[in-house]
Structure 1
């Protein structure tokens, strides 16, 4: 797209999920500033082992991210065979569905609205009363999905499949904070509420939160993958670009269109 060459766009999503966005930016002549504000670490926890053991009893298995799939299949190598034939699987988003397919299973449900709320909307038309539902995820995630399913009468088992936390090495994030303040970046993107909150927390620790919020209000363009991700930004009265489809590609396309106007 013309008018983008040399522009600098910051990416804050976890390192292992970064490549797609980097490729799209570089294909359009945009310089990516890679600064993960969120670090993921898959883990074999007691709750994940318990979920593996109860796999034959599950009526539903729900994956909310590719990382949950990676961890579940790593630590429960026979998961595919342990699931009973009647167990149905739901995922949030096509990327998670793709990871599931690569592990030999198919998603029965992929909501058009790639959010917990979008998935719950579909479950309103499904009888889950008394049904056993397993959700391997990070415990840092919002409780909208499990609580919503419990309200429908489901027996929900959460399993900690990975941890979401602040990056151990803060060098890249500190560079991003400095670049936001000095105006060296043209835009910054966020793909989850934690990528936003962690940036604000790290900036707060260095006394720079007010400065980066001001930069995002006054000149640096801000894009969020969806309305849920945008909430902590909007709470600071930061203008946010949100695509109609909640994908990285759609978010960047929305940003590009705004940057060349």
Structure 2
């Protein structure tokens, strides 16, 4: 009799998991989407318009999430600014997912770190020694402050308007909820620190929290890893490539080594 598939939950909506699903064979894994937050646009205030008025005069444009790319380019469209006008800026991204999102708007990446973290991106910027340098950094309301703090310390003027909001969900979608209720979550893949915070807030039931102690915990990168530790979770899997694809490969390798061992 064939063994049951391994239930793997990812903290993203299913539309963002196609690459992961393709890397985890259906005969061995059952991938379930478990989105834990929603992305919403911010109110387009006079202050936001004033901040964006500084964009084209900046030297660098930084994106650390695909959501920032989408919301920024949509807002620029409303302002009558086309993407081609951004070619005068040096565009910097935290990783390949964000770079791929830029290509959908016909934009290329000028700077991307080998290790896909905000800290590694900050390391690519040399200290300002002569004329003023400005960085435009549109971000989400829950973005960590470390990147801009490091850049400011290096002497850059950083304009960092909030262009989207991450709103944590208060409950699980039905497929994920059923798996938790049945203690059937074999592997949970966290794809952001916000997803860790949201799940731990949702799992108020002691039995559900206990279920995570028997679940293989995955963190997509270092900041998510730290969020897991802060929540009292033991991380079993962290990929060397901080992408959903890298996470899927690491999960497959983990279970392949477990079965062979």
Q: TM-score, normalised by structure 1?
A: 0.85
Candidates 101, 104, 122, aligned match of 2:103: 101
Is 1:184 matched with 2:184? yes
Is 1:130 matched with 2:132? yes
The answer to whether the 8 A contact 2:128-2:155 is kept is no
Structure 1 pair 15–139 and aligned structure 2 pair: CA distance change class (3 A): farther
Q: Alpha-carbon deviation of 1:215?
A: 2.7
Q: Alpha-carbon deviation of 1:127?
A: 5.9
What residue in structure 1 maps to residue 164 of structure 2? 162
Consecutive unaligned residues in structure 2, runs of 5 or more? none
Residues 41-77 of structure 1, C-alpha deviations (whole Å, 9 max, x = no match): 1335335433432222111110111111111111112
What is the RMSD of the two structures over their aligned residues, measured on CA atoms? Answer: 2.6
What residue in structure 2 maps to residue 80 of structure 1? 83
Q: Alpha-carbon deviation of 1:81?
A: 4.2
The answer to whether the 8 A contact 1:183-1:220 is kept is no
The answer to whether the 8 A contact 2:59-2:90 is kept is yes
What residue in structure 2 maps to residue 119 of structure 1? 121
Q: Distance in 2 between matches of 1:4 and 1:112?
A: 39
The answer to whether the 8 A contact 1:4-1:259 is kept is no
Alignment of 1:1-261 (within 5 A): 6-14=5-13, 17-25=16-24, 29-43=28-42, 45-46=44-45, 47-77=47-77, 78-83=81-86, 85=88, 87-124=89-126, 130-167=132-169, 170-172=171-173, 176=176, 179-180=179-180, 182-203=182-203, 207-208=204-205, 210-217=206-213, 219-235=214-230, 236-260=232-256, 261=258
The answer to whether the 8 A contact 2:11-2:36 is kept is yes
Q: Alpha-carbon deviation of 1:119?
A: 0.3
Question: Structure 1 residues 180-189 or 144-153, which shifts more?
Answer: 180-189
Residues 165-189 of structure 1, C-alpha deviations (whole Å, 9 max, x = no match): 1137x341x7535533532121010
The answer to whether the 8 A contact 2:68-2:139 is kept is yes
Question: Structure 1 residues 152-161 or 14-23, which shifts more?
Answer: 14-23
Q: Distance in 2 between matches of 1:226 and 1:108?
A: 22
Q: Distance in 2 between matches of 1:72 and 1:189?
A: 28
Q: TM-score, normalised by structure 2?
A: 0.85
Question: Structure 1 residues 16-25 or 247-256, which shifts more?
Answer: 16-25
After the TM superposition, which segments of 4 or more aligned residues of structure 1 sit over 2 Å from their partners?
13-29, 42-52, 79-85, 124-130, 174-183, 210-217
Aligned length: 251
